[in-house]
């Protein structure tokens, strides 16, 4: 093991051995850690299931899995589970974590046929292990531009250069014969949501714990915004993160979200959101919160610790837009106002 890996292992073990970490505050992030949850990048499926069940009961303060999910979802809801699959086979939301959520929903009376597991790309979903099967949830890829909704436009201050796959790209290319084409013809402050948002009534968000070189953190808020729209590159430019918060605040997104379960069985502190094994390690932890800002702020601080141990430059400043998200009323970003509580896994 290299010195960097040894330092990271020491940091990880000290955090796991420290027991319950509690800070007074108005937001709570729950965590559950289990040795053996990930071995050689392979998920321990039964253990993932137990971890999800215990975590959801802790968040909702209910004594059964069915009661926990019933407190969040109605049987009449159409539930969307947003997974993260940019990391490919190994660094995506783990299938058994998602399966545990689907099973929990079913125990609460939500039929699998009323559940949609989705992300941007159908091919990435398949690579990560998500495929539709008879009697199970629908697995849906937005696959721009096909799955984008022309009527679900969102405008934010950040400008982006239009490319193929953006709904306005073709429209912007239509110039009058003989008219000069300028750089402004290629720019737009408008994005369009995926059609899936018009179908679902509740959302369960399952991001991974990853850095992002533009906005600092590809976490809970990122996972429900950037992969779900066209003209998305404008959101991850340094200094443009506030537009991610504006997009998440849209009435078609944030009011539907009932829970965020951050999959950190494998965590990555540099090179994300794609998988880079040089900066990834088995964290063997799941986090959950009703507060996406608190969850992302907690993850960002952990990324800062891991980057420091690896002697990498800090990237925390790129996540300062979380303070703006807090000002919008989306959650708490200040460390002193967030409680991080460890959930025990029964033996």
Q: What residues make up the domain containing 71?
A: 3-342
Question: pLDDT tens, 233-279?
Answer: 888 887 777 899 999 999 999 999 999 999 999 999 999 999 999 99
**The residue count for the chain:** 347
Does residue 294 form part of some domain? yes
Does residue 273 form part of some domain? yes
Does residue 195 form part of some domain? yes
Distance CA 231, CA 163 (A): 8
Question: Higher confidence at residue 250 or residue 167?
Answer: 250
Distance CA 244, CA 127 (A): 27
| The pLDDT of residue 163 | 85
Does residue 207 form part of some domain? yes
Q: Are 38 and 44 in contact (CB under 8 A)?
A: yes
Mean pLDDT of 297-306: 98
Q: Which runs of consecutive H residues, i.e. helices, occur in 147-275?
A: 167-173, 220-223, 242-248
Question: pLDDT tens, 87-143?
Answer: 999 999 999 999 999 999 999 999 999 999 999 999 999 999 999 999 999 999 999
Q: Encoding tokens for residue 179?
A: 């008219």
pLDDT over threshold 70, residue 2: no
pLDDT over threshold 80, residue 25: no
> Residues with Cβ < 8 Å from 236, sequence gap 6 or more?
212, 214, 215, 226, 244
Does residue 347 form part of some domain? no
Q: Are 244 and 228 in contact (CB under 8 A)?
A: no
Number of domains present in the structure of the chain: 1
Question: pLDDT tens, 177-222?
Answer: 455 555 556 788 899 999 999 999 999 999 999 999 999 999 999 9
Residue found by looking up tokens 């992030």 in the block: 29
Does residue 145 form part of some domain? yes
Cα 111 versus chain centre, distance: 24
pLDDT over threshold 70, residue 230: yes
Does residue 93 form part of some domain? yes
Does residue 289 form part of some domain? yes
DSSP string, 29-63: EEEEE-TTSEETTEE-HHHHHHHHHHHHHHHHT-S
pLDDT over threshold 70, residue 155: yes
Question: Higher confidence at residue 13 or residue 316?
Answer: 316
Would strands 79-83 and 338-342 be described as parallel, antiparallel, or unpaired?
unpaired
């Amino acid at each position: 093991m290299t010195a960097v890996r040894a330092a990271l292992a020491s940091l990880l073990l000290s955090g796991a051995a420290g027991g319950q970490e509690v800070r007074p505050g108005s937001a709570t992030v729950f965590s559950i850690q289990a040795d053996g949850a990930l071995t050689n990048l392979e998920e321990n499926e039964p253990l993932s299931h137990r971890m999800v069940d215990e975590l959801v009961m802790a968040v909702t303060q209910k004594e059964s899995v069915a009661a926990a999910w019933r407190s969040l979802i109605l049987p009449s809801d159409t539930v969307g589970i947003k997974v993260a699959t940019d990391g490919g086979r190994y660094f995506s939301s783990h299938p058994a974590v998602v399966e545990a959520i689907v099973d929990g929903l079913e125990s609460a009376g939500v039929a699998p046929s009323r559940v949609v597991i989705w992300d941007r790309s159908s091919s990435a979903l398949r690579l990560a292990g998500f495929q539709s099967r008879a009697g199970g949830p629908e697995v849906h890829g937005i696959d721009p531009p096909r799955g984008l909704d022309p009527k679900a436009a969102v405008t934010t201050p950040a400008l982006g250069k239009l490319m193929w796959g953006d709904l306005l790209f073709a429209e912007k290319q239509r110039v009058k014969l003989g008219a000069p084409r300028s750089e402004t013809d290629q720019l737009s402050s408008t994005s369009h949501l995926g059609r899936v948002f018009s179908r679902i009534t509740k959302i369960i968000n399952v991001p991974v714990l990853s850095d992002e070189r533009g906005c600092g953190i590809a976490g809970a808020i990122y996972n429900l915004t950037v992969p779900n729209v066209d003209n998305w590159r404008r959101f991850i430019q340094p200094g443009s993160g506030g537009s991610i918060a504006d997009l998440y605040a849209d009435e078609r997104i944030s009011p539907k979200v009932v829970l965020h379960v951050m999959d950190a069985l494998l965590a990555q502190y540099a090179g994300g959101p794609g998988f880079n094994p040089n900066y990834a390690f088995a964290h063997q932890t799941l986090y959950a919160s009703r507060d996406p800002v608190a969850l992302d702020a907690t993850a960002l601080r952990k990324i800062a610790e891991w980057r420091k141990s690896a002697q990498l430059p800090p990237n925390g400043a790129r996540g300062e837009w979380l303070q703006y998200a807090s000002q919008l009323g989306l959650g708490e970003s200040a460390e002193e106002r967030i409680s991080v509580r460890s959930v025990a896994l029964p033996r």
